[in-house]
Structure formats: C-alpha cells, structure tokens
Amino acid sequence: MRRNRVGFYFILPWLIGLILFTAFPLLAALYIGFTDWNIAGDANFIGLDNYRYLLQDSIFWSSLWVTFRYAILAVPLGTFVAFMVAVILSRPMRGVGIYRVIFYLPAVVSGAAVAIIFKWILDPSFGLINGFLNLFGITGPDWLGDPNWVLPSYLILALWGAGSGLFIFLAAIKDVPKSLYESAMIDGANAYQKTRHITLPLVTPVIFYSVVMGIIGSFRKFTDAFILGGAGGQGRFAMVYLYDLAFVDYRMGRATAMAWLLFIIILTLTIILNISKKYWVHRE
C-alpha cells in the first residue's frame, strides 16, 4: 500500500485534471442537453425536447449530409494520396528529406491561416485558380458561392493537407521486412506488384487508423469551414451549425444535444469500421 500510495501521488495532478476538465464537463454537458439554457440565464429542464427539435430540423440534417458527403470523399482521397506520396518518398533519392518536409508542412501550418489563404485562392474574381483558368480562356466557377462547387472546394483543401499523415505511412512502410521485397524481386515482380501485394497489405493497420481518425476529423471540421463558409450557408458543416446554435442563437442546450448526437454518429461509424477490419486489415 505504501508503494502504491507513492505512485498515486505522482498521477494525482493528472487525475485532478481529468476530473475537473474532462469528467465534470462531460457530465455537465449531458445535463445541459436536457435543458433550455441561453448561457446567461438559468437552465430550465425540458427533457428530450432539444433532441426532438434536432431530429425534425431540416438545417441539422442538411449540415449532417454535407459533413457526411465530405467525409465519404475526402477521407479515401486523402488516405490514398498520403499513402502514394509515402511510397514514393520511401525510396532513396536525392533531396528526399527536403521533399518530406515540403509535403508535411501543411500539418504544422495554422488552420486559420490556411483557410484565409484558400479564401483568396478560391475567390471567383481574383483568385489564383480562376486566374490560371482565365489564361486558357476558361471561366472558373464561383467556388464558394455556387452550391455545386462548395464540396469540391473543400476537397481541394483536404488534398492539399493530405501530407499530414505522411510520416505515419512512412514509418509503416519502413517497417515492412526487406526480405519480402527481395523475394519478390527474385520472382520478377515489378514496382507496382510489390506495392500492391506486399506494401499495401502490410500497412493496412495504419490505413485503418488513418480512416478512423479521418472520419472523426471530418465530423469535427470547424476552423476552415467557419472561415470559408460556402453558398450562403447551404454548404454549412455540422460543427459550424453547432457553433451557430450555441454562440449566435444562444441555444446552448440545443447545441449540446447536437454534440451528443454527433458523438453517437461518430461512435457508430467507428464501431462499424472496427467490425469490418477483420475482412481487410492484415494481421501477421
């Protein structure tokens, strides 16, 4: 008991932080979701009314649909790009360290700064993309003003930041036994065959991790979505609508209920992915 008490004293600061800043806010949020609270006044208990409202709210379902469409496109594309870049940069070449730094830079740049830069890049009048298209006589679209082009705009931003998972894939590729590549080379396998039948199966655990974290990140997408907006609110992501409920309409109870609904959706998708991994994730 004396030895255990010393260990307990070492973890006590972390334990206090866990209770004060994680456990207590979770319990408070659970209660707030059942109240009508405008932040400043008293919280009036209203039961499941917030959840009933959200399930009948067309804006909630619209924002959820925008978020889901973004996740179903951005996560596979981003994972594929990160994997292919990692495969290329895992090979010995001159200046490979510089290329790795360049591709990883989006991961360390502020999200707000990136959003402001892309707001200029995607501007329909003097943006970089439409200016480049004008050189060939092509009139570029209104990227963030046209509902049909809002999602492609965010996909461009997602692909630009796909290098954030580069080093995870690089570590997984470096962990593949070289003897497998040597055996395949003796059998006459080309680069594609080695990547398809050796590299890809052995890095599927990292791909699984990347997909799960990508889906969670997609449903929590806020910073660039808040700054860029899109189509007058028609391209609004779920987290942006949650922010509007809490800090524009001052419906904190309703916003908290929406946060719990998003938590249930993310948890469900994660469980489905976890069940499916036995069919496609390689285990030695």
Q: What's the CATH number where 54 sits?
A: 1.10.3720.10
pLDDT at 126 over 90: no
The total domain count for the chain is 1
What's the pLDDT score for residue 232?
A: 55
What's the pLDDT score for residue 145?
A: 84
In a domain, 35, yes or no: no
* DSSP string for residues in 227-239: HH--GGGTT--HH
What's the pLDDT score for residue 234?
A: 61
Contact 248, 171 (CB under 8 A): no
Give 152's contacts (C-beta < 8 A, 6+ positions apart).
143
Q: Phi first, then psi: give them for residue 92, nearest 5 degrees.
A: -70, 125
pLDDT at 235 over 70: no
In a domain, 12, yes or no: no
Contact 241, 20 (CB under 8 A): no
pLDDT at 282 over 90: no
In a domain, 21, yes or no: no
The 3-state DSSP class for residue 191 equals helix
pTM check: above 0.85: yes
Residue 262 CB burial class (10 angstroms; 0-12, 13-18, ≥19): middle
What's the pLDDT score for residue 75?
A: 94
In a domain, 19, yes or no: no
In a domain, 181, yes or no: yes
* DSSP string for residues in 142-181: -TTTSHHHHHHHHHHHHHHTGGGGHHHHHHHHHTS-HHHH
Give the residue-averaged pLDDT of 38-51: 91
What's the pLDDT score for residue 106?
A: 83
Report percent pLDDT > 90 for the chain: 62
pLDDT band for 231, please (50, 70, 90 cuts).
Answer: low
Give exposure, 136-173, as e/b (b: 16+ Cβ within 10 Å): eeeebbbbbbbeebbbebbbebbbebbbbbbbbbbebb
Report percent pLDDT > 70 for the chain: 98
Q: Among candidates 221, 212, 107, which has minimal Cα distance to 170?
A: 107
In a domain, 152, yes or no: yes
Structural domain that includes position 190: 49-280
- Mean pLDDT is lowest, of 3-17, 31-45, 102-116, 195-209, for 102-116
pLDDT at 222 over 70: yes
What's the pLDDT score for residue 92?
A: 84
pLDDT at 265 over 60: yes
Q: Looking up tokens 């996560």, which residue turns up?
A: 75
Contact 221, 67 (CB under 8 A): yes
Give the residue-averaged pLDDT of 223-250: 85
In a domain, 41, yes or no: no
In a domain, 37, yes or no: no
H-helix or E-strand spanning residue 268 = helix 252-280
Give the residue-averaged pLDDT of 135-148: 87
Give 231's contacts (C-beta < 8 A, 6+ positions apart).
144, 145, 146, 147, 150
pLDDT at 55 over 80: yes
**How close are the terminal C-alpha atoms of the chain, in Å?**
41
Tens of pLDDT, residues 161-214: 887 788 899 999 999 999 999 999 999 999 899 999 999 999 999 999 999 999
Contact 236, 66 (CB under 8 A): yes
Give the residue-averaged pLDDT of 74-82: 93
Structure tokens that stand for 99 in this block: 């290329």
Give the residue-averaged pLDDT of 63-92: 92
Which of 170 and 110 is assigned the larger pLDDT? 170
Q: Among candidates 71, 14, 48, 90, which has minimal Cα distance to 266?
A: 71
